[in-house]
Amino acid sequence: MSSLSLVHEANALLDEIDEKGADPFALERLEEIRAQMLLAGFASPFSAVLAQTKSEADGWTAEEAADVRKQIGNMRYLAQLKKFTLNRIRCAISSGRIARGLEQFGMQEELKLLPLGGSYRKMLLESHPVAVECYHALMDRFAVHAFEAEGASAKIQIGGEGENPQIALEFSSELEARDKVLEFFGPEAKIADLKTKKKTVGLIRSYSGKVALFTAASIRAAKIAEEEMKKKKMDGKVAEYNAILAKYRIYSDAAITEVGGLEAVKKEAAKAGFLKADFGDYEFADEELAEALAARRRARKKIALKAAGEFVFRLLVKFYVMLNENGRKAWGLPAAVMSPDERQLAVLAHIAPEGYAIKHAPKVLAEKVEFEKNEVPLEACIWGPAFVCARCGLGAAWAAGEFGGEEGEIENAIATINALVEKPAGRAAKFLLGVKKAKKEE
C-alpha cells in the first residue's frame, strides 16, 4: 500500500469514528495502521518524510500526478499530512485505551468526551473557549512537574539490511523498546542500535495520552462551568447583551469587540446601545457592562480550571489506589509511570480539590504503590481503598462513595490491615508500622 493510500485509509477510518462514535474493533485496526505508518517512515524528521514523498512522486503517472497536485497542492503539504495523520492516529489510540479504562470505572459519560477519532483540536474549539484554556493549563501544569527519568532510543531494521531503511523511535526504557518492537512489528524486526539516555518526562509520559485525557477533562469542565454560570443572576444589560449573542450562536459574555469580523452582531449590539463605533472599530459604550462581562468570564474560567484539575486528580487517584501495577498496565492510561514515587506524584498536590479527604495525596499514593510489593492477598480494588482509610483515618463509607465497592468488604479489609499493624509479622506489617509512625508524625 502506498503511503498516500495509507493516509487516506487512516483519515477515512478516523472520520468515521468521529461521526459514529466508539468502535470496539477500531483500536486494533488503528494500531495496525500506526505500525504500517512507522514502517513507512512517518515518524522520521520532516525533511526525511518530505524526501520520501518526493521519491514516491517519481513513479506516479501523469494523471496521478495531476490529481495529486489538484488535491494537495505540493509535496510539502503531503509530507505535513503524513505527520498530521500519524499524530491523529496516536491520539485516537490513546483515547481508545483510556476509554476502555473509563468503562471499567463506570465512567460512561466521560468516555464520550474523549477524542476517539483523534480530532482533539476540533472538539476543543467546538466546545467553548474556556475548554482550550483548561487544556493548555493542564499541559503547562504537568510540564512544570516533569522530572528526569531513564529513556531509550532505538533503530529498528525490518527485513535484511539494505532492503528497508532503519526506523528511529523513542521509548521510555530499554525493556519497553524490546516489548514494543515485538508488539508493533513482529518477530522479524531487529533492534539494530539501542541506546539508553536521560530524558525529561512527567507522571504521564505519553504526549498523546495527555492530549486525550486533558481534552476530555477540559470539555467536561467547560460544560460544568457553563451550567454554573447559568445559575448566576445576570443584571438587565448583561442579559440583553447575551440575548443578542445567542441569536448569532456566540458564547455568552464574549467580548466581541476583541474579534475581527462579526459585523452583523456588532451592528445590532451598537443599535441596542451596548457598543459604539470609533473610526470603523467597535468598543463598549458602557464600561460597567464591559467589566461585568469580564468578571463573568473570569468566574467561568475559575470554575472550569478547578473542574478540569479535579477530574484528572480523581481519575489518577483511582488509577493508583484501585489497581495494582499489573492492573494499571492493563487499564490503558498510555505511558503513565506505573510505580511512581512521591516526587513523581507531586503534580497531584497542585490539582487536588480543596479540602479533599486524602491529605498529602502524593505521599499516601506513593506508600500504597510501595506496599504493593507485599502481594496483599485481597483484590486491589478492595484493599487499595482500605489501605487509604487505614493510612488517613477515613471510614469505609467514604471509600465506598469515592471508589465504589461494598462498604462491608472495605470495612473488613480495613480490619485486616489494622490487624497487621497491631501484630507485626513479616514485611507487610513492618511496612504498615512505618506508615503508622509517619502518620503520627504528620
pLDDT tens digits, one per residue of 6-21 = 888 999 999 999 988 7
Q: Is-above-0.85 flag for pTM?
A: no
Q: How many CB atoms are closer than 10 A to CB 348?
A: 23
In the DSSP assignment, the letter for residue 160 is S
Side-chain-facing half-sphere of 242: CA atoms under 13 Å:
18
Q: Is 190 helix (H, G, I), strand (E, B) or coil?
A: strand
How is residue 259 written as a grid cell? 474579534
**Is the confidence at residue 158, as pLDDT, over 90?**
no
pLDDT tens digits, one per residue of 347-397 = 999 999 999 999 999 999 999 999 888 777 889 999 999 999 999 999 999
Beta strand residue intervals within 219-323, DSSP E:
275-278, 281-284
Under a CB-based contact definition with an 8 Å cutoff, are residues 136 and 130 in contact? Answer: no
What sections of 105-186 are H helices per DSSP? 108-111, 120-127, 129-144, 174-185
Q: Is 280 helix (H, G, I), strand (E, B) or coil?
A: coil
Phi/psi at 169 (nearest 5 deg)?
-135, 155
Beta strand residue intervals within 76-122, DSSP E:
none
Question: Closest Cα partner for 438 from 392, 407, 406?
Answer: 392
Beta strand residue intervals within 220-311, DSSP E:
275-278, 281-284
How is residue 373 written as a grid cell? 510489593
Phi/psi at 5 (nearest 5 deg)?
-65, -35
pLDDT tens digits, one per residue of 42-87 = 776 545 555 555 555 555 566 666 665 554 455 666 778 888 899 9
Q: Is 170 helix (H, G, I), strand (E, B) or coil?
A: strand
Positive or negative torsion for Cα 349, 352, 358, 362: negative
Q: Is 223 helix (H, G, I), strand (E, B) or coil?
A: helix
CA–CA separation, 275 vs 294, rounded Å? 15
CA–CA separation, 94 vs 50, rounded Å? 27
- For residue 88, how far is the Cα from the chain centroid? 13
pLDDT tens digits, one per residue of 261-313 = 889 999 999 999 999 987 778 999 989 999 999 999 999 999 999 999 999 99
Highest CATH level, class, for 147-201: alpha beta
Mean pLDDT over the full length of the chain: 83
Least confident of 207-216, 233-242, 421-430: 421-430
Q: What share of the chain is helix, strand, coil (3-state, %, to 5)?
A: 65, 10, 25
The ranges assigned to domains in the chain are: 3-105, 147-201, 357-441
